[in-house]
Amino acid sequence: MKPDWDRLSAEFADNKVAGVYDVDCTASGKPLCDANGVRGFPTIKYGDPNSLEDYSGGRSYDDLKKFAEGLKPLCSPANRDLCDDDEKAQIDRYVDMGADAIKALIADGETSIAEAETNFKESVSKLQAKYESLMQEKDDAIAAVKALEASYPGLDAQTAAAFALGFKAGRLADADTATAPEPAAAAEEVAAPSGPNFGAPTNVPTVEEKWTIYEDDVSFGKRAPSLDTAEAIKDVAAKLGEKPTLVMFFAKSHKGDYTTIVDVSDLADKYGEFANFVGIGIDADKKDTEALLKKLGKAMPNEYIDEFRVNFPLIWDKDKECKEAYRNVAKVMTITPSACFLVDADKKIVWREQFGQGYEPRKGQIGEQLRRLIMGEELIKNGPTPVPEESDDEEEMEMGDGSEEDSDLGF
């Protein structure tokens, strides 16, 4: 890989839009590597130097060149033509204010944040208490139905439900002496719930090899880590295990992955009655994750999004506990934005897929896997992981010898 990287770096030496550089993580580049969570070599990252994103594409010369040629300059005071109207207005406002006024604005903002944080925690606490109360009512109702079914073996579930609801409301004075209503009459009162009915697509979706997840993935069948340590940002997320759940990781700084959020919202529109959805923000600061909500309803032409929307709960991964737990289960180097997991009603991981710039959920297999999970059908299987053919050069690269080739690499 090193010769291909050097060749690519030379080709982009005079490029005014993008550059290809080496960063030596063992020397002067160590602070940058530490700040971006680099743990192994070679690691490739791209984007704004102040907000680098993980590269997960192919590592051949052709793959790297194709990706580098697709990089675009970012919005900044020097590139105003790449900014949307809101970003331009913000740049103008800060330029006109001056340094002293900006410092005062920051101080006021920090006070407002502290107050908002207090109000937010109090409101979330009340919502959590209400949620727990409703969950207890649901559990009590289920327990009552099961008790009646045990007492009256010939009673169908619908009649037992009607009888239990009447008992819970106080219409029956004594559960031991009460007589169960006639099944036929109760059946008329309680409508049968409608089940999922999602037809199979004409063709089973397939993906390129570099995006393929194989059936021997180490995370499959493992218990999904709890999300209880995360803090609510938008709505209250349902707990794992109530329904099949799609868990998606995101970051406000990764604009190239916003299409994943929109595509998951489309899946929530279609399957939301029979599955839960939750987005986990992995920004370093909670305020960054919260700032994502300010973009709702806006067009993002640079990301090819006509209207940015999120129709499912969002939480913030405080101290990165959720991210680290899912990384350990999946046995991957890191969990990046647009990583998605499917968890079944038994809290087991049954599928995962990594999306990114140019590869959105609508192009992958996760939508069909979710449909099959809801319908109780066998999931798509892509066979076992192919055994890679490693050359002597690649083996030397993996082991490392402390030379320059052990340095971190990044766009």
Per residue in 264-283, pLDDT tens? Answer: 999 999 999 999 999 999 99
The upper half-sphere exposure of residue 99, i.e. CA atoms within 13 Å in the direction of its Cβ, equals 0
pLDDT at 163: 59
CA–CA separation, 48 vs 386, rounded Å? 34
Looking only at the bridges linking them, the beta strands covering 276-281 and 314-316 are parallel
Is 322 strand, coil or helix?
Answer: helix
Is 312 strand, coil or helix?
Answer: coil
pLDDT at 228: 92
**The dihedral sign for the CA sequence 228, 233, 239, 240:** negative
User: Could you tell me if 72 and 17 are in contact, meaning their C-beta atoms sit under 8 angstroms apart?
Assistant: yes
Chain centre to alpha carbon of residue 28: 34
What single DSSP character describes residue 28? T
pLDDT at 41: 74
Q: Domains in the chain, please, with CATH?
A: 101-189 (no CATH), 211-375 (3.40.30.10)
Mind listing the pLDDT tens digit of every residue in the chain (411 residues)?
788 888 888 888 888 777 888 888 888 888 888 777 777 778 888 877 766 888 878 888 888 888 888 887 777 777 788 788 888 888 888 888 888 888 887 888 788 888 888 888 888 888 888 888 888 888 888 877 777 667 666 666 666 666 555 555 554 444 444 454 554 444 444 454 467 889 899 888 999 988 999 999 999 999 999 999 999 999 988 889 889 999 999 998 888 789 999 999 999 999 999 999 999 999 999 999 999 999 999 998 888 899 999 999 999 998 899 999 999 999 999 999 999 999 999 999 999 999 987 889 999 999 999 999 999 999 999 999 998 776 555 444 444 444 444 444 444
Per residue in 162-174, pLDDT tens? Answer: 655 555 555 444 4
- Which own/partner contact pairs does 348-352 have at CB distance under 8 Å and 24+ positions apart? 348/221, 348/222, 348/223, 348/224, 349/219, 349/220, 349/221, 349/222, 349/223, 349/224, 350/220, 350/221, 350/379, 351/213, 351/220, 351/379, 352/213, 352/217, 352/219
Q: pTM score, two decimals?
A: 0.52
Kindly report the backbone phi and psi dihedral angles of residue 137, in degrees, each rounded to the nearest multiple of 5, phi listed first.
-60, -40
- Find where tokens 């970003």 sit: 87
pLDDT at 325: 95
pLDDT at 317: 94
pLDDT at 186: 45
